[in-house]
Chains A and B, each alone.
Chain A
């Protein structure tokens, strides 16, 4: 039986911190530069630098590497390639990380064959970064070039059903009823095709690894840019045959990940390989253009068909998707399921297929699959509402479902209706004239759009350790990650709340494989999973404290069970009589213990998972202003109402939703990696030409949290907010553009040329 967080007392106390907008505990370190990222750590001895060389061709074979020419340069120590890479591990399985999709993972420098443009082919190691970069620039490599194909449109005929096997991938729901018949007979119907091409994560921090070679056997401290140190550790341990003691992976701060750091990237392989071979400390940092050389949100083609009866009730719903994958792995996302979760239809059909092209394997990117599917389905729903003669908001409420139709299970909680109502009220939706092209601001067309979204409220296995020292300071640790989500502060809050200590008396550490294991930071599951583990570890410390308190002479807590005690304001008190109270510092002093420690664990509840559907929801309302002559679109107002269970920290949660909203806007209006099919290569591989919003593109964003009480989805009532804020936004923008202009654009990004 899981315990919920201690009930807040009637009088608010300093230690009652859950739900408060508390500043990030890591904020000062970040803004002062004290926070160290992977490429900033010093090492014990001298440091060498590795520079990666990537393939200019998309397919072929390396025939000659003129390594001798650069090895002649003083200070260049090694040119690693398939010709001399040590044979650490040859089995695919060793290269599988926690979140690898099915197939055969990419093995860097393993063979002369080139499978995608920008494939890493060489690591040059030299005494300085500049020298390594120079040597890499003059290294001559000869290739036999073969014909490649990177055009998804040309391989639609080779599509195959997406296989299972990847963590988090849910296959399309089973069909219901007779889709074709229902669609044919329905009075109102829409059908459309939706497209977006590849997008790259582009976190600010480049992928980087600093290996501190400790000179004691194979012992290394590996500072890596990742969203999960334990995942990197097990990957390295399997490939290089290292013990966990030898491969200690550290990732204290992560300058954004958005999914790019879920899988170990090739620079960590190269850095550790070079360190082991040269028995030397080494640093490898990717360039910005190399940030386009691995996973991305896949180019996806979608088809939607929806039909309603005369009153607007959905009678038929079909959602099909075809996504790219590489020739060596089957990257899968959950794309088409979400429309089926949001709307009940007696007749449905869902389909999700892959086709292979000569690119690197796609990789989960913020709200993977959902952002893709949601844009298409919520655009189609808007179109359907218009066809049925209903307001798009009313249409969503008319077709609201309290159970998950894809699994015929009740939701643990679902306050999407309140999101729609409260969001509409805040936005002023009732002032909307539904007629397209009816609203203006001077010479600009004004459009208001709405869309809703959902995301999994999921939990993974996680562990944490809590240590209360004799001076009363609580240190909690877990090998989780903070890519900017606010993990540091919410876990500190969780620990402080559980043991009733002030925030200043609590430190939360993360990102080190010497700490208890945690999953990669993704899927919006960190707050829930690690939060529950932290609570559990602190409760275990609390139980020990209570026992120690009861050993004190004339203990006022004599006979009080843990379940009947509360930890508040530095004291343990009896629930029934709060005057029966002992200060924690007194317990520590009386006990004579130097520290009290405990480990805690959390994990999914399989019985609840069988019985319930667990999701967060949101509703995004958007205002756009369109200069029709020039095709320019500005998103002048967004209201994003989110129902994601309990909000641990409204400040960091709001930041997450703001970030998600900006991501949605970015996907809607700007993001696209330009693939040149002649060259088989992404061409806008830099921040100047891969456009994401600047401050001037972002106007008013209003975040509403519709709190839900839900102790089934999570022992701490949390659903997570990492992805949900992004959903709905892109579709709401496209819907608003329709309302403004009367034009339905089904291809992202909505660049000005599409409105001319």
Chain B
């Protein structure tokens, strides 16, 4: 870890000014990712703008029925907020599927969006990684890459965005409000994270100095038909191999509106709007779900066979979509099947 200076900002505009007036500055939220990365010597900010005192911790109802999640509200406070639990249970479940209670107590909503990949090579300075060191190469293309992506990848990078929460935010079509040196703007969630292309070092579309101030949820929370299916290598404290967040509006057995996103498979929460349209106006059925799943993974590319490599995610991802859509339509199993609850203790 290198030496750095630190400023405690008390307002968003002050934070932005502080951040933009220092070279090599970073924003510090809950610190659950950035501080780790600094200890690993992967991030070397010379200045930190601490956001801990910013008044951005509230969760408030928006005109029109949406909900505004303060960027500095913790993941735990968000997941357990009565409005979130009642109207956006998908978001609540998704947050609770991630990390551990300790981490969720410290991690902030804004920070969750900006957490970096868990690709093994990104985390190991001894290995080539284009995301960490542009131009050095991608070790994951041929090496063990179980944690890496199969959709929207490039020859530069096959890393995944590791958040669970963001998968729900993508399905819920959240809007990210940011403040920068030139004032405020909003970014549609689909446009917030980017695909790696030739610049995997850039995770998102934030401009220099821009700060997330809130995440705004539209009024529709799909509280009647939703699911978050997270498949992982153990029941807790593991990143998704594949996850699916689904929100549906149903009329009887007919799907009126469908939104879903995948985690663990791409450099961003993966949405396929054409696949969503395939569901809308249709009667829910396993055949339909299989067609949708096939569409989502039609262009997928696996990087090697066997359990250390990620080609299996294509088949697993399809099955996960089918299962998640079934769960959301039937609301038969709202408990994540990856966490087994013993019925006869």
Is A591 located at the chain interface by the 8 A CB criterion?
Answer: no
Interface-lining segment among A175-183, A464-472, A554-562, A746-754: A746-754
Q: For chain B residues 222-265, which have a beta carbon within 8 Å of chain A? A: 231, 233-239, 241
Is B124 located at the chain interface by the 8 A CB criterion?
Answer: yes
Q: How far is the CB of A706 from chain B (nearest CB, A)?
A: 26
Q: Within 8 Å CB of B102, what residues of A?
A: none
Per-residue 0/1 for A691-709: is the Cβ within 8 Å of any B Cβ (1 yes, 0 no)? 1111111011000000000
Complex contact B143–A632 (CB within 8 A): no
Q: For chain A residues 28-60, which have a beta carbon within 8 Å of chain B? A: 56-57
Q: Within 8 Å CB of A625, what residues of B?
A: 340
Q: How far is the CB of A103 from chain B (nearest CB, A)?
A: 26
Tell me, in angstroms, the Cα distance from A554 to B19 when the chains sit together: 91
Tell me, in angstroms, the Cα distance from A688 to B342 when the chains sit together: 25
Tell me, in angstroms, the Cα distance from A133 to B1 when the chains sit together: 7
Q: Within 8 Å CB of A56, what residues of B?
A: 125-127
Q: How far is the CB of A685 from chain B (nearest CB, A)?
A: 7
Q: For chain A residues 616-667, which have a beta carbon within 8 Å of chain B? A: 625, 627, 629-632, 634, 636
Q: Within 8 Å CB of B41, what residues of A?
A: 137
Is B301 located at the chain interface by the 8 A CB criterion?
Answer: no
CB closest residue in chain B, given A56: B126
Is B176 located at the chain interface by the 8 A CB criterion?
Answer: no
Q: How far is the CB of B2 from chain A (nearest CB, A)?
A: 6
Per-residue 0/1 for A664-676: is the Cβ within 8 Å of any B Cβ (1 yes, 0 no)? 0000011010111
Tell me, in angstroms, the Cα distance from A631 to B343 when the chains sit together: 20
Complex contact B340–A630 (CB within 8 A): no
Tell me, in angstroms, the Cα distance from A678 to B145 when the chains sit together: 13
Tell me, in angstroms, the Cα distance from A697 to B337 when the chains sit together: 12
Tell me, in angstroms, the Cα distance from A672 to B146 when the chains sit together: 12
Q: Within 8 Å CB of A394, what residues of B?
A: none
Tell me, in angstroms, the Cα distance from A630 to B120 when the chains sit together: 24
Contact of A684 among B1, B120, B315, B322 (CB under 8 A): B120
Tell me, in angstroms, the Cα distance from A627 to B326 when the chains sit together: 15
Q: Within 8 Å CB of A672, what residues of B?
A: 307-308
Tell me, in angstroms, the Cα distance from A625 to B343 when the chains sit together: 12
The DSSP consensus for interface residues of chain B is loop
Q: How far is the CB of A161 from chain B (nearest CB, A)?
A: 29
Given contacts A625-B340, A683-B143, contact A631 B237 (CB under 8 A): no
Complex contact A697–B234 (CB within 8 A): yes
Complex contact A689–B319 (CB within 8 A): no
Is B64 located at the chain interface by the 8 A CB criterion?
Answer: no
Q: For chain B residues 37-87, which have a beta carbon within 8 Å of chain A? A: 41
Given contacts A753-B312, A754-B307, contact A699 B139 (CB under 8 A): no
Q: Within 8 Å CB of B315, what residues of A?
A: 756
Total chain A interface residues with beta-carbon distance under 8 A: 49
Q: For chain A residues 576-616, which have a beta carbon within 8 Å of chain B? A: none
Given contacts A674-B308, A679-B127, A697-B234, contact A632 B337 (CB under 8 A): yes
Complex contact A700–B307 (CB within 8 A): no
Q: Within 8 Å CB of A669, what residues of B?
A: 234
Q: How far is the CB of A59 from chain B (nearest CB, A)?
A: 14
Is B192 located at the chain interface by the 8 A CB criterion?
Answer: no
Contact of A636 among B124, B147, B342 (CB under 8 A): B342
Is B5 located at the chain interface by the 8 A CB criterion?
Answer: no
Complex contact B239–A753 (CB within 8 A): no
Contact of A694 among B120, B123, B126, B237 (CB under 8 A): B237
Q: How far is the CB of B243 from chain A (nearest CB, A)?
A: 12
Is A106 located at the chain interface by the 8 A CB criterion?
Answer: no
Is A130 located at the chain interface by the 8 A CB criterion?
Answer: yes
Is B207 located at the chain interface by the 8 A CB criterion?
Answer: no
Q: How far is the CB of A560 from chain B (nearest CB, A)?
A: 55
Tell me, in angstroms, the Cα distance from A57 to B1 when the chains sit together: 22
Complex contact A756–B312 (CB within 8 A): yes
Complex contact A688–B320 (CB within 8 A): no
**Number of residue pairs spanning A and B whose beta carbons lie under 8 angstroms apart:** 116
Contact of B233 among A57, A133, A670 (CB under 8 A): A670
Most buried by B among A289, A632, A681, A688: A688
Tell me, in angstroms, the Cα distance from A627 to B345 when the chains sit together: 19
Q: Within 8 Å CB of A627, what residues of B?
A: 337
Complex contact A752–B316 (CB within 8 A): yes
Complex contact A700–B345 (CB within 8 A): yes
Given contacts A625-B340, A683-B121, A752-B241, contact A676 B233 (CB under 8 A): no
Is A686 located at the chain interface by the 8 A CB criterion?
Answer: yes
Given contacts A630-B231, A674-B308, A678-B142, contact A753 B316 (CB under 8 A): yes
Is B282 located at the chain interface by the 8 A CB criterion?
Answer: no
Tell me, in angstroms, the Cα distance from A441 to B344 when the chains sit together: 11
Complex contact B1–A629 (CB within 8 A): no
Complex contact B319–A630 (CB within 8 A): yes
Is A117 located at the chain interface by the 8 A CB criterion?
Answer: yes
Q: Within 8 Å CB of A752, what residues of B?
A: 231, 233, 241, 316
Q: Which range holds the interface residue count of chain B?
A: 35 or more
Complex contact B320–A674 (CB within 8 A): no
Complex contact A699–B121 (CB within 8 A): no
Given contacts A691-B233, A752-B316, contact A632 B146 (CB under 8 A): no
Tell me, in angstroms, the Cα distance from A672 to B233 when the chains sit together: 11
Given contacts A631-B316, A685-B124, contact A699 B342 (CB under 8 A): yes
Complex contact B234–A670 (CB within 8 A): yes
Q: For chain A residues 130-144, which have a beta carbon within 8 Å of chain B? A: 130, 133-134, 137
Q: Within 8 Å CB of B126, what residues of A?
A: 56-57, 117, 679, 681
Given contacts A676-B144, A679-B143, A681-B126, contact A751 B319 (CB under 8 A): no
Q: Within 8 Å CB of A674, what residues of B?
A: 120, 144, 146, 308
Q: Within 8 Å CB of B127, what residues of A?
A: 56, 676, 679, 681, 683
Complex contact A686–B123 (CB within 8 A): yes
Q: How far is the CB of A205 from chain B (nearest CB, A)?
A: 18
CB closest residue in chain A, given B337: A627
Complex contact A700–B235 (CB within 8 A): no
Complex contact B1–A134 (CB within 8 A): yes
Tell me, in angstroms, the Cα distance from A696 to B336 when the chains sit together: 12
Is B338 located at the chain interface by the 8 A CB criterion?
Answer: yes
Q: How far is the CB of B306 from chain A (nearest CB, A)?
A: 8
Q: How far is the CB of A38 from chain B (nearest CB, A)?
A: 21
Q: How far is the CB of B313 from chain A (nearest CB, A)?
A: 8
Tell me, in angstroms, the Cα distance from A351 to B6 when the chains sit together: 63
Q: For chain B residues 116-174, which have a beta carbon within 8 Å of chain A? A: 118, 120-121, 123-127, 139, 142-144, 146-147
CB closest residue in chain A, given B314: A756
Q: How far is the CB of B38 from chain A (nearest CB, A)?
A: 11
Complex contact B337–A679 (CB within 8 A): no
CB closest residue in chain B, given A686: B123
Given A684-B144, A694-B236, 11 extra CB contacts under 8 A: A56-B126, A134-B1, A137-B41, A289-B124, A678-B143, A679-B126, A686-B123, A691-B233, A696-B235, A697-B234, A756-B316
Q: Which residues of A does B touch, CB under 8 Å?
A: 56-57, 117, 130, 133-134, 137, 289, 441, 625, 627, 629-632, 634, 636, 669-670, 672, 674-679, 681, 683-686, 688-689, 691-697, 699-700, 747, 749, 751-754, 756
Q: Which 6 A-B pairs have the closest CB atoms?
A: A56-B126, A696-B235, A753-B312, A674-B144, A676-B143, A634-B340
30 A–B contacts, CB within 8 A, in A order: A133-B1, A134-B1, A137-B2, A137-B41, A289-B124, A630-B316, A630-B323, A632-B337, A632-B338, A634-B340, A672-B307, A672-B308, A674-B120, A674-B144, A674-B308, A676-B127, A676-B144, A677-B143, A681-B124, A683-B120, A683-B124, A688-B118, A689-B147, A691-B234, A694-B237, A696-B236, A700-B342, A753-B312, A756-B312, A756-B316
